[in-house]
Amino acid sequence: MINIKNLTFAYGKKNPVLQDFSLDFQRGNIYGLLGKNGTGKSTLLYLIMGLLHAQKGEVLVDGMSAKDRKPELMREMFLLPEEYDLPAVHLSDYVSAIAPFYPNFSMELMEKCLSCFDMSADVNLGSLSMGQKKKVYMCIALAANTPYLFMDEPTNGLDILSKSQFRKAIVTAMSPEKTIIVSTHQVHDVERVLDHVVIVDRNRVLLNQPLVENDGPVDLEKLFIETLTLNTLQ
CATH of the domain at 129: 3.40.50.300
Residue 79 domain boundaries: 2-233
Of the pLDDT bands very low, low, confident and very high (cuts 50, 70, 90), residue 213 is low
For 122-160, how does the pLDDT look when each residue is reduced to its tens digit (9 = 90+)? 999 999 998 899 999 999 999 999 999 999 999 998 899
Q: What is the mean pLDDT of residues 9-30?
A: 90
Structure confidence at residue 216 (pLDDT): 61
Q: What is the pTM of this model?
A: 0.93
**φ, ψ dihedrals at 124, nearest 5°:** -100, 125
For the residues 17-40, what does the mean pLDDT come to?
92
pLDDT exceeds 90 at position 80: yes
Note the pLDDT tens digit of each residue in 103-119.
Answer: 999 999 999 999 999 99
Tell me how many domains the chain contains.
Answer: 1
What are the CA-CA distances from residue 129 to residues 22, 84, 126, 167 (Å)?
A: 39, 13, 8, 20
